[in-house]
Amino acid sequence: MKIDFYTTDWCGDCVRSKALLKKFDLDFNEINVDLDENANEYIKTLQINQRRIPTIVFDDDSFLVEPSDVDLENKLKELKYI
């Protein structure tokens, strides 16, 4: 299982999504797009030149952008992470 969590220091939605991942005791790779230009460009590529966060990328190459807690939890269940 691999989760790449693209975030910034100022993002409230990132804090909420991160708390949900921690609630389920999931390991994730947190990447700050303000500090990593390659990461910033990657999420802009995924989102067709937008930069919305959090962007959460899973090991099957699927991803969620600004997910609600319900959407994130459903995705985690779909991938059998929880």
Q: Per residue in 25-66, pLDDT tens?
A: 999 999 999 999 999 999 999 999 999 999 999 999 999 999
- In whole angstroms, what is the distance from residue 48 CA to residue 66 CA? 15
Q: What is the CATH number of domain 3-78?
A: 3.40.30.10
64, amino acid identity:
L
- In whole angstroms, what is the distance from residue 25 CA to residue 44 CA? 28
Taking only Cα atoms into account, the Rg of the chain, rounded to an integer number of angstroms, comes to 12
Domain boundaries defined on the chain: 3-78
**pLDDT tens digits, residue range 59-75?**
999 999 999 999 999 99
Pairing mode, strands 3-7 and 55-58:
antiparallel
Question: In the numeric block, which tokens belong to residue 39?
Answer: 């990461």
